[in-house]
Structure 1
Amino acid sequence: MGEKTTPARREGIPLGRIAGIPVILAYSWFVIAAFTVIVYGPVLRENNPALGVAAYTVAFAYAILLLISVLVHELAHALTAKIYGWPTQKIVLNLWGGHTQFENFTATPGRSVLVALAGPAANFALAGGAWLVLSGSSLPSVAELLTNIFMWANLLIGIFNVLPGLPLDGGRIVESAVWKATGSQAKGTVAAGWAGRVIVVALGFWFLARPVLAGETPELSLLMITVLVGGFLWMGASASIQQGTMRGRLHLVNAAALARPAVGIPNTSTVSDVLRLSPTGVPAVVVCGPDGRPQAVVDAPAVAAVPPHATSSTPVTAVSYALGAGAYVPEWSKGQELIQYLGQLEGQEYAVVDHRGTVTGLLAQDVVVAAITGKSVRPNRYPQRQNR
Structure 2
Amino acid sequence: MPTETGSSRREGIPLGRIAGVPVILAYSWFIIAAFTVVAYGPILQINDPSLGVAAYYVAFAYALLLALSVLVHELAHALTAKMYGWPSEKIVLNLWGGHTQFESFTATPGRSLVVALAGPAANFVLAGATWLVISAASPTGVADTLTNIFFWANLVIGIFNVLPGLPLDGGRLVESAVWKATGSHAKGTIAAGWGGRIIVAALVLWFVVRPLLAGGRPDTSMLLITVLVCGFLWMGASASIQQGRLRSRLHLVSAAALAEPAVGIAETATVAEVLQAAAGGGAAVVLCGPDGRPASVVEASALAAVPAPVAAATPATAVARALGAGAYVPEWAKGQELLQYLSQLEGQDYAVIDHNGRVTGLLRQSAVVTVITGKAPRENRRPQGQNR
Q: Calculate the TM-score normalised by the size of structure 2.
A: 0.94
Q: Which stretch shows the higher mean deviation, 158-167 or 102-111?
A: 102-111
State the identity %.
73
Conservation of the 8 A alpha-carbon contact between 2:283 and 2:300: no
**Which of the pair is proportionally richer in helix?**
2
* 1:24, distance to aligned residue in structure 2 (A): 1.1
Task: Give the equivalent residue in structure 2 for 1:310.
Answer: 310
User: Superposition pairs for residues 232-311 of structure 1, below 5 Å?
Assistant: 232-311=232-311
Q: In the alignment, what sits opposite 1:73?
A: 73
Cα deviation, residue 226, structure 1 = 0.3
Which string of whole-angstrom CA distances, capped at 9 and with x for unpartnered residues, describes residues 280-300 of structure 1?
532211111122211111132
| Match runs of 1:377-388 below 5 Å | 377=377
**5+ long unaligned stretches in structure 2:** 382-388
| Equivalent-residue separation in structure 2 for 1:100 and 1:168 (angstroms) | 13
Describe how 1:184-203 pairs up with structure 2 within 5 A.
184-203=184-203
Distance 1:379 1:146 in 2: 57
Distance 1:42 1:340 in 2: 51
Please state how far the C-alpha of 1:258 moved relative to its aligned partner: 0.2
Question: Secondary structure, in 3 states, of the residue corresponding to 2:10?
Answer: coil
Structure 2 distance, partners of 1:138, 1:313, is 93
1:133 corresponds in structure 2 to: 133
Q: TM-score by structure 1 length? A: 0.94
Deviation at 1:172, TM superposition (A): 0.3
- For residue 116 of structure 1, what is the amino acid of its counterpart? A
Structure 2 counterpart of 1:104:
104
Helix, strand or coil for the counterpart of 1:261? strand
Whole-angstrom CA distance in 2 between matches of 1:277 and 1:18: 58
CA distance in 1, matches of 2:376, 2:282: 22
> What amino acid is aligned across from residue 76 of structure 2 in structure 1?
A
Structure 1 window deviating more from structure 2 (366-375 vs 132-141): it is 132-141
Alpha-carbon offset, residue 82 of structure 1: 1.7
Aligned to 1:366: 366
- Tell me which residue corresponds to 1:55: 55
Q: Distance in 2 between matches of 1:153 and 1:331?
A: 53
Kept in 2: contact 1:367–1:379 (CA 8 A): no
1:380 deviation in Å?
Answer: 6.0
Instruction: Give the 3 Å change call, closer, same or farther, for CA 299–106 of structure 1 in structure 2.
Output: closer
Q: CA RMSD in A?
A: 1.8
- Asked if the contact 2:256–2:331 (Cα under 8 Å) also holds between the matched residues in 1, the reply is yes
1:229 partnered with 2:201: no
Deviates more, 1:235-244 or 1:135-144: 135-144
My pick for the range that moved more, 138-147 or 176-185, is 138-147
Q: Which residue of 2 aligns with 1:174?
A: 174
Q: What does the per-residue CA deviation read over 1:360-388, in whole Å, with 9 as the maximum and x for residues that have no partner?
A: 1011001111111121348769xxxxxxx
SS of the residue corresponding to residue 345 of structure 1 reads: coil
Secondary structure of the structure 2 residue equivalent to 1:139: coil
2:195 alignment partner AA = A
